[in-house]
Structure 1
Amino acid sequence: MKYLKYITFALLIFSAQSCSDFLEQEPGTQTSIDELLQDKKGVLTALKGLYTSIEENMRGERFAVYADLQGGNLKITPFDTTNKGQIVLPTALQKVYSFEDQSDESDFKTFYDASYSIINQANLILEYTPNLNDATDAEKNQIKAEVLTIRAYAHFMLSLIYSQNYGFTPDASHIGIVYNTRSIKGGIQYPKRETVANTYNFIIEDLKTALGNYADKSVSEGPAYSYFNKNNAKALLARVYLYKKDWQNAYDTANDVIANSGISLMNATNLVSEWEKTDLPVSEILLEFSAPRDASGTTSSSIAAYFGYSTSPPPLFTISDTGRKYVASNDLFNLYETNDLRKKLFLPLQLSTLIAGNQIMMPYNFTKKYHDNPGYVAFRLSELYLIRAEAAAETNKPDVAMADVNTIRARANASLLTNATNIKENILLERRKELCFEGHLLFDLVRNQRGVSRNDGCISNVCGLNYPSPKFILPIPIFNINLNSNLKQNESY
């Protein structure tokens, strides 16, 4: 892990400074990129470091809670013990939460920089892999497939944060993001932002190329669900088609994963216990970015740091020794029917909260989804059912859509839909309940051209945002604008 840490750190340095043509492997030693990536062992080490970088970026507090906090699924606890029960905004998201992020001090600058660093690392591996003399063609193809998928994934996530949804203009001609397909080792580039249409075309092209190169197993060691493979790459492609409103391809690709991945939905009898498992992901996982562990199996940090809970009542003004910041809002919690098994995925705790100068014991609903499970849920099978349902609804197959929604609802012991009259609304509602805290809500609202309405627990001057609004996306950090005069800033920033 120490070795990988230095590899990843040095790659970050390299992506910012092209003249620093080296990678630190151990303190006091340096190895050139040419030397490191000349053999299979070096490339696989770099690939491992690349997965570590993705996990850190996706699991980081800013992105991990962003879509659910902004959309209204989450509210903030009195986690700051120095304020004796007062609810305050977490430092990491102070400006973003109020839809007032600023280009000169953006809350998301680290996410922006890390994402393009990941892309640069991916491009380096892609440039060196074809020349490996000690790897078979199948191994080189597998490396290429995984890295192309990573590159597509990083660009897609950037597009969600920094460009308006695909349907914002009729032909998606509005501004997208910079799509990097070449490392900066060949010289610093000053590219322009693509249109959203071109951005999605590049993402889809990378994924299709990747799918043509996947082998049956990863070249990396560890559980298969920790790496990109043909099944979860298809899951990503289905999600991209969904956001592009390419309904037939979204349907076909989601259906392919459901029918051929070999993964099955969790059933009702183990729905809650699956989420309560320690460290291991749920059985229907397609991809989990697992937190790196040291030799003793310990993780230094995980997504549980934001969502976890204590099983015993905490002392006054605190949330035990965990200090967890985010819990389900009543806006979300009250959507579940009484007998819905997913309601059992919440643990209610009473916390002393400062209200109008008085200490009042208030209930907070902590999620069990990330308790003692440090992995970041990137894709699981339930999402594919809901993608297929939405695509069916949009292609005039409401009964097919209703059947998929009812599959998810039946598993949760929720009442079944009896007609497809409001099927699109029901799909959006089911996505909110089923995929909560997995990074979807804000993006689901925006791609459906809906506004945000946050009621319970909102502590911002801005608790709602009507669609359309330039504030649904964030500013390009001014530091990057100053470096590249071809970068155009987003409207209103």
Structure 2
Amino acid sequence: MKYSKYLSIFFLFLSLQSCSDFLEQEPGTQTSIDELLQNKTGVLQALRGLYSSLEANVRTERYAVYADLQGGNIKFTPIATGSLRGQVSTPSNVEQVYSFDDQALTSNFKLFYDDSYDIINQANLILEYTPSLTDATDAEKNQIKAEALAIRAYTHFLLSLVYSQDYNYTADASHLGIVYSTASIKGGVQYPARKTAAETYALIINDLQTAIANYSDSSLLSGASYSFFNQKNTKALLARVYLQKGDWTNAYETANDVITNSGAVLTSKESLIAEWEKPDLPISEILLEFAIPKDNENNVAGSMSKVFGYNTDQSFEKYTASNDLINLYESSDLRKQLFLTKPLFTLVEGVQTYVNYSFTKKFQDNAGYVAFRLSEMYLIRAEAALETNRADLAMADINTIRARANASLLTNTTSLKENIFLERRKELCFEGFLFFDIARNHKNVSRTDGCLANVCSLTYPSLKYVLPIPTFNTNLNPNLQQNDSY
């Protein structure tokens, strides 16, 4: 607990103070960090804290709903109780981004931006101290390094999705990427500039390839193996990065490696619904799901059900499926059973009535954040096969997913690219993909059912496919260039 306290205090300083303030604190703070990270026990405490920070960053409301909300998979529930019962409005935490009108000065995503770079700084500290450990074997140090590198790459990748236009926005990916941090700020003030998108992805890929080469058999941390980065789910992340980049050959080979060699198997058709409905544990095909926080009495302190959950008709969360999504499923599709449909008291143009709302069953009870699962790898392999002129292989992979869902099978490769896009939307809904898939495919945003935004559609290309860098950060770093239009 002493180690956790020192770590929390240190990173609180990093989050709340400017770099110059940090340097003024450095003599006292530096001692605490040196004490914490001088041995294997302290480094593992820091690594566990790093996972906790990462889980909190992706699981909380803003990022957890962002891609599905912006893309059109989500609408809002009415207020459940009180004098405003039945009214439907945009949640304040996403009000600006939802209308494609986020403001740099008051950005809805400032916490996400700050916390992401705090996570990266934590990872860099672990990477800097681990090589000097005298009470850890080389294999143990390599395992710690691999997990920290994977987290660093993953966090940079998420930042690039939110703050940088898609990789092929320019022909040579020379447009702005993000600041890529490979050293902690412990050593002094730095004012880095943003890399290009090409440079950003090269650094992400290098971190992931280095991590893959350094993994041992298992994490040194206690807990479920699926809740930590390992070689197979780091390869899954690498496949996703290659897909986002449009590196089709490597996307195919890496996704195929995970499918063939990870030991994971697709959840069966017969158990698909039951697997998603079970409490506490992830679906069987999971590759990575971060452990949810629990208190000293083992009570859950936060989960995805805090975003998507339904308890009673007077106790439910803010986000449900739009009919834009629901209407994509065939009546026979088992995935249509993954929605809990409930009539809720709603004011419609001032008239009191009951309207059906569809809550996803993926994230009820004590659901964790699904980072990677095997279905995505089939969909990546399918898209990469199509883009490398192997349409028959692509159709076979799509039909594997469709057959598992009891959906009708494709019989020809006509419109296969659009079918792959729609299959990703249906299969991976609420797992953080849609808006980024729209941008990657240079498609337009079209939101109809339940859209309350000032802007419900967006035509690609648009400067509003990315968010503004928060003003506090651009003021602090004179080399940090703001995104255009903000």
| Fold equivalence (TM over 0.5) | yes
Q: Is the 8 A contact 1:307 1:324 kept in 2?
A: yes
Q: Is the 8 A contact 1:290 1:374 kept in 2?
A: no
What SS is found at the alignment partner of 1:364?
A: strand
- The residue number in structure 1 matching 2:52 is 52
What SS is found at the alignment partner of 2:25?
A: coil
1:440 and 2:433 matched: yes
Q: Which amino acid aligns with 1:452?
A: V
Q: Is the 8 A contact 1:352 1:362 kept in 2?
A: yes
- The residue number in structure 1 matching 2:8 is 8
Quote the Cα distance in structure 1 between the aligned partners of 2:210 and 2:134: 22
Q: Is the 8 A contact 1:71 1:442 kept in 2?
A: yes
What SS is found at the alignment partner of 1:269?
A: coil
Q: Which amino acid aligns with 1:33?
A: I
- The residue number in structure 1 matching 2:107 is 106
Q: Is the 8 A contact 2:290 2:370 kept in 1?
A: yes
1:421 and 2:426 matched: no
What SS is found at the alignment partner of 1:369?
A: helix
Q: Which amino acid aligns with 2:240?
A: R
Q: Which moved more, 1:419-428 or 1:2-11?
A: 2-11
- The residue number in structure 2 matching 1:27 is none
CA deviation after TM superposition for structure 1 residue 79, in Å? 3.1
Quote the Cα distance in structure 1 between the aligned partners of 2:458 and 2:446: 7
- The residue number in structure 2 matching 1:36 is 36
CA deviation after TM superposition for structure 1 residue 101, in Å? 0.2
Q: Which amino acid aligns with 1:439?
A: G
What SS is found at the alignment partner of 1:135?
A: coil
- The residue number in structure 2 matching 1:166 is 167
Q: Is the 8 A contact 1:292 1:299 kept in 2?
A: yes
CA deviation after TM superposition for structure 1 residue 9, in Å? 4.8
What SS is found at the alignment partner of 2:173?
A: coil
Q: Is the 8 A contact 2:300 2:366 kept in 1?
A: no
CA deviation after TM superposition for structure 1 residue 18, in Å? 4.1
Q: Is the 8 A contact 2:86 2:347 kept in 1?
A: yes
Q: Which amino acid aligns with 2:335?
A: R
CA deviation after TM superposition for structure 1 residue 3, in Å? 6.1
- The residue number in structure 1 matching 2:338 is 345
Quote the Cα distance in structure 1 between the aligned partners of 2:290 and 2:26: 29
Q: Which amino acid aligns with 1:73?
A: N
Q: Which amino acid aligns with 2:248?
A: W
Q: Which amino acid aligns with 2:124?
A: N
Q: Is the 8 A contact 2:235 2:254 kept in 1?
A: yes
Q: Which amino acid aligns with 2:25?
A: S
Q: Is the 8 A contact 2:6 2:33 kept in 1?
A: no
CA deviation after TM superposition for structure 1 residue 20, in Å? 3.2
CA deviation after TM superposition for structure 1 residue 8, in Å? 3.4
- The residue number in structure 2 matching 1:410 is 403
CA deviation after TM superposition for structure 1 residue 13, in Å? 1.8
What SS is found at the alignment partner of 1:78?
A: coil
Quote the Cα distance in structure 2 between the aligned partners of 1:224 and 1:22: 38
Quote the Cα distance in structure 1 between the aligned partners of 2:5 and 2:71: 34
CA deviation after TM superposition for structure 1 residue 301, in Å? 1.6
1:229 and 2:230 matched: yes
Q: What does the per-residue CA deviation read over 1:11-63, in whole Å, with 9 as the maximum and x for residues that have no partner?
A: 24235434434899xxxxx9611111000000000000000000000001000
Quote the Cα distance in structure 2 between the aligned partners of 1:138 and 1:79: 53
Q: Which amino acid aligns with 2:258?
A: V
What SS is found at the alignment partner of 2:320?
A: strand
What SS is found at the alignment partner of 1:331?
A: helix
Quote the Cα distance in structure 2 between the aligned partners of 1:8 and 1:255: 40
CA deviation after TM superposition for structure 1 residue 77, in Å? 0.5
CA deviation after TM superposition for structure 1 residue 4, in Å? 3.6
Q: How does 1:371-410 map to 2 (within 5 A)?
A: 371-410=364-403
Q: Which amino acid aligns with 2:279?
A: T
Quote the Cα distance in structure 2 between the aligned partners of 1:344 and 1:22: 58
Quote the Cα distance in structure 2 between the aligned partners of 1:428 and 1:244: 16
Q: What does the per-residue CA deviation read over 1:273-326, in whole Å, with 9 as the maximum and x for residues that have no partner?
A: 00111110010000001212123221112111110112x5x2xxxxx23x3100
CA deviation after TM superposition for structure 1 residue 360, in Å? 1.1
Q: What does the per-residue CA deviation read over 1:211-256, in whole Å, with 9 as the maximum and x for residues that have no partner?
A: 1100010111101100000000000000000000000000000000
1:20 to 6, 9, 25: 25
CA deviation after TM superposition for structure 1 residue 383, in Å? 0.2
Quote the Cα distance in structure 2 between the aligned partners of 1:362 and 1:423: 35
- The residue number in structure 2 matching 1:120 is 121
Quote the Cα distance in structure 2 between the aligned partners of 1:433 and 1:464: 20
Quote the Cα distance in structure 1 between the aligned partners of 2:10 and 2:276: 36
The runs of 4+ residues in structure 1 deviating greater than 4 Å are: none
Quote the Cα distance in structure 2 between the aligned partners of 1:23 and 1:61: 35
Q: Is the 8 A contact 1:23 1:33 kept in 2?
A: no
Q: How does 1:209-358 map to 2 (within 5 A)?
A: 209-310=210-311, 314=313, 320-321=314-315, 323-358=316-351
RMSD: 1.5
What SS is found at the alignment partner of 1:439?
A: coil
Judged with a 3 Å threshold, the aligned counterparts in structure 2 of structure 1 residues 8 and 198 are, in CA distance, closer, same or farther, namely same
Q: Is the 8 A contact 2:269 2:405 kept in 1?
A: yes
Q: Which amino acid aligns with 2:297?
A: S
Q: Which moved more, 1:154-163 or 1:15-24?
A: 15-24
Judged with a 3 Å threshold, the aligned counterparts in structure 2 of structure 1 residues 80 and 91 are, in CA distance, closer, same or farther, namely farther
Q: Is the 8 A contact 2:205 2:238 kept in 1?
A: yes
Q: Is the 8 A contact 2:344 2:356 kept in 1?
A: yes
Q: Structure 1: which 5+ runs fail to align?
A: 25-29, 315-319
Q: What does the per-residue CA deviation read over 1:416-435, in whole Å, with 9 as the maximum and x for residues that have no partner?
A: 00001111111000000000
Q: Which amino acid aligns with 1:381?
A: L
Q: How many correspondences in the alignment?
A: 480
CA deviation after TM superposition for structure 1 residue 449, in Å? 0.5
Q: What does the per-residue CA deviation read over 1:340-366, in whole Å, with 9 as the maximum and x for residues that have no partner?
A: 110110011001111111111000011
Quote the Cα distance in structure 1 between the aligned partners of 2:67 and 2:219: 31
Quote the Cα distance in structure 2 between the aligned partners of 1:291 and 1:9: 22
1:430 and 2:423 matched: yes
Quote the Cα distance in structure 1 between the aligned partners of 2:297 and 2:378: 38
Q: Is the 8 A contact 1:165 1:447 kept in 2?
A: yes
After TM superposition, the score normalised by the length of structure 2 is 0.96
